[in-house]
Structure 1
Amino acid sequence: MEVVVSGLQCPSGIALEAAKGELYWSDLADRKIHRVYLDGSGAQEAVVEGLSAPSGTSLALDEERLLWADLSLRQILCAKRDGSSKSPQILVSELNKPNAVAVDAFSRKVYWGDFGTRKVHRACSDGTQPEVVVPYGKNSTSIVVDSVRSKLFWTNFGTHAIYRCDLDGRDMQPLITGLEGPSAVALAPRAGRLYWVERTAGRIRRACVDGTLVEDVVCNLGDAWLHSCWLGLGHQAVEFVSARKDPWALALGPESHSGSA
């Protein structure tokens, strides 16, 4: 493992653009979203300013934009990834307690979970046509879209499970149960693997997208508060996890195990 960026104040949501080698994260202390290039070219820069310093922020990417759920503003917001428009734009407003957001690259739909309604919602990429996808999503902690298989996955901290359904909400089922505080979830679509963080157990695990072959990737993370993780694919699978102050990276081959942290 290696530290990617150090000396941060209060990092929250994190997102990776693997093809371009760009890492984005929100910081609740300075109220900005930052970007850094993983190859070391270019200095750390703020691409979005004026966040509300919410109690929870999650990030997602589409082709040109950053999208995030703002729990305190009760909104889904967006901004251009290149930093040309540093002020956030409202995508969906008057929500209850949105806490997780994901994007389907094929349909260009935006999905989010809501602690208040205990449902999973979606809208078009311009924020129009909002609708309920899963009317009983309960407390969805983190959401990821599998555009290849047309599936939606989310973790539920309260029920200790990962759930799966079709992108239109049909065929909802608990996929993996008996977890210890599941929070952030990430997807390697080509490999057909799910990765997730279990806060209570202090570990990162993975499984096939059909819920089989559950295994530990990293254990004994101690008291690290794992806010968010995102998985990007290049020649290796790269897991990024935001700990209390320093995001760190873990490079994994398709079948590798790293053991303890």
Structure 2
Amino acid sequence: VSTVVSMRHHARLPKLLPLYLWLLCALPVGIFAKLDLVDGLLKPKGLALDTSAGRIYWAEVGAMKIRSAKLDGTDIRDVLVKSDVLGAPTSLALDSIEKKIYWTARCCSVRRANLDGSDEQEVASAEYSSGIALDRVTRKVYWADWMQGRIMRADMSGSEAEVFYSKNLASPVDVALDPSHDMIYWSDFGRYRIERTGVDVATPVQGLNMSWAVMQTYGIAIDSLARKIYLSDYEHAGIEYTGRIIRTSLDGDDSEVLVSEPGMQMPTSMALDTDNGILYWTDQKSGKIQRLFLQCPASTLIVASRGNDTLEVQYAGSEHGSLTIAPCPEKYSGNLTLACSNGEVSVSSGRCGKRCPAGSVAPTFGLLKHEPDVEVNYGAMDDGERVDVPCPSDLVGVSQLKCKEGIVSVLGQNCRTAQPCKAGDTLVGDALVAYGFVPHGLMDGGACPSGFQ
């Protein structure tokens, strides 16, 4: 089953798809658990990375906390704990330079504190806030007002909130900045749309190509350098939820499903570590933080040959979901098709077989009793290769040889001593032509009989 499914040429599909259809996009069995970084959480939502300190932060709405852990999921700590459900943190953003964490509260403000939770301050009053992004150049903080259909902003140091954009929005839930191109993106959960505009509002608002969308798109993460956007979306029928992680170009084209598996229910906030090629997201309903390694770096894979020899196969770096061809090591023939999935490489198809070096073999069967034993010389052969080798010296015929795991075997041969042609006659047209004794391999002439020329 393919890990990455291209949606490039798909027409818009029905809103609700049976679960079994999404299994076609699922990761291979055994990788599901490898996605999980932290589990057992109470409605995790907002997510932010501090890669310089090697930590990940998240808002745990059900526990009314901001928590953090090492990037490997260990050393979980409470950063900030609220006692009032209305003050529960929902979305996070992190300023690693100023060592501040920003968040939206369930009601009714945007707030910030030190990374250890101390010195908490209100940045701006904000009703129905969701999603948060920091522009560290202009020192602005952006968030979405999902109830009133607005994108808001304020100074990071604290100021009155202002409406950044509000035309034709239904229920925006997340925002993300592309600082390299001075663009802001938002997901409108109520209209199944991703839109963007310049942070100076001079650029006309553009809707991304969403022909691939079949679910409600929520979280956004942007890779400015690679010009890619990562999206989380999900749908539900009754109590059944199904989620996906999708990657597209910045205009929404060339979309592909990176992850879709039965255990994924409601992926929401996302965070991207571009330096190490790792994508993180929260799954609010399943109570997990998950991650996906987007690349498999060049390395060496230990495999077994057809004869169970232990081999080291070198391979080039590749992207998650891709297939690459790696040649077998020296003295072995064949190629391996390698699959990159969540940072790990495995053999998709192919085997390495040991080559047979040039040599000779002495068949002991298939000869008439009066024929001598024959030693047949052959050139180097690939594993599994079959060749017909001419018989040596004054013998005629061929030997059929096969190479298997470095050993040459004789499948069959009909080498035999060359026999001369005894004197006789043969009918050529209407003439009976007589001939004399002719050694094997030579040619001789015969005179036409009387009455013929």
TM-score, normalised with respect to structure 1 = 0.87
Which residue is 1:118 aligned to?
149
Which residue is 2:287 aligned to?
245
Tell me whether 1:149 sits opposite 2:175 in the alignment.
no
Q: In 2 relative to 1, CA 255–164 (structure 1 residues): closer, same or farther, beyond 3 Å?
A: farther
Tell me whether 1:46 sits opposite 2:78 in the alignment.
yes
Q: In 2 relative to 1, CA 146–51 (structure 1 residues): closer, same or farther, beyond 3 Å?
A: farther
Q: Which of these residues, 84, 87, 109, is aligned with residue 75 of structure 1?
A: 109
Contact 1:104–1:146 (Cα < 8 Å) also in 2: no
Name the SS of the counterpart of 1:220 in structure 2.
coil
Which residue is 1:19 aligned to?
52
* 1:108 partner amino acid: R
* Structure 2: 5+ residue stretches without partners: 1-33, 236-241, 296-317, 322-340, 343-453
* 2:140 partner amino acid: K
> Alpha-carbon deviations, 1:72-115, whole Å to 9, x = none?
x2211111113444xx321101x331112111122111001102
Which residue is 1:189 aligned to?
224
Contact 1:77–1:89 (Cα < 8 Å) also in 2: yes
Shift of 1:134: 0.9
Q: Distance in 2 between matches of 1:59 and 1:174?
A: 25
Shift of 1:117: 2.5
> Alpha-carbon deviations, 1:206-238, whole Å to 9, x = none?
111133211111123456122322222223233
Shift of 1:138: 3.1
Which residue is 2:127 aligned to?
96
Which residue is 2:210 aligned to?
177
Tell me whether 1:226 sits opposite 2:267 in the alignment.
yes
* 2:115 partner amino acid: R
> Alpha-carbon deviations, 1:175-196, whole Å to 9, x = none?
1324220011111222221000
* 2:246 partner amino acid: R
Q: Which moved more, 1:47-56 or 1:201-210?
A: 47-56
Shift of 1:131: 2.0
Which residue is 1:256 aligned to?
320
Q: Distance in 2 between matches of 1:10 and 1:98?
A: 17
How many residues align structurally?
254
Q: Mark the structure with the bigger radius of gyration.
A: 2
Name the SS of the counterpart of 2:59 in structure 1.
strand
* 1:58 partner amino acid: S
Contact 2:267–2:281 (Cα < 8 Å) also in 1: no
Contact 1:14–1:242 (Cα < 8 Å) also in 2: no
Shift of 1:9: 2.7
Shift of 1:151: 0.3
Name the SS of the counterpart of 2:288 in structure 1.
coil
Contact 2:265–2:283 (Cα < 8 Å) also in 1: no
Name the SS of the counterpart of 1:247 in structure 2.
strand
* 1:196 partner amino acid: L
Root-mean-square deviation (Å): 2.3
Q: In 2 relative to 1, CA 84–90 (structure 1 residues): closer, same or farther, beyond 3 Å?
A: closer
* 2:57 partner amino acid: Y
Which residue is 1:236 aligned to?
277
Contact 2:271–2:280 (Cα < 8 Å) also in 1: yes
TM-score, normalised with respect to structure 2 = 0.52
Contact 1:60–1:103 (Cα < 8 Å) also in 2: yes
Contact 1:203–1:217 (Cα < 8 Å) also in 2: yes
* 1:89 partner amino acid: Q
Q: Which moved more, 1:129-138 or 1:119-128?
A: 129-138
Q: Distance in 1 between matches of 2:39 and 2:127?
A: 34
Tell me whether 1:35 sits opposite 2:99 in the alignment.
no
Identical-pair percentage:
27
Q: In 2 relative to 1, CA 51–28 (structure 1 residues): closer, same or farther, beyond 3 Å?
A: farther
Which residue is 2:166 aligned to?
135
Contact 2:244–2:258 (Cα < 8 Å) also in 1: yes
Name the SS of the counterpart of 1:211 in structure 2.
coil
* Structure 1: 5+ residue stretches without partners: none
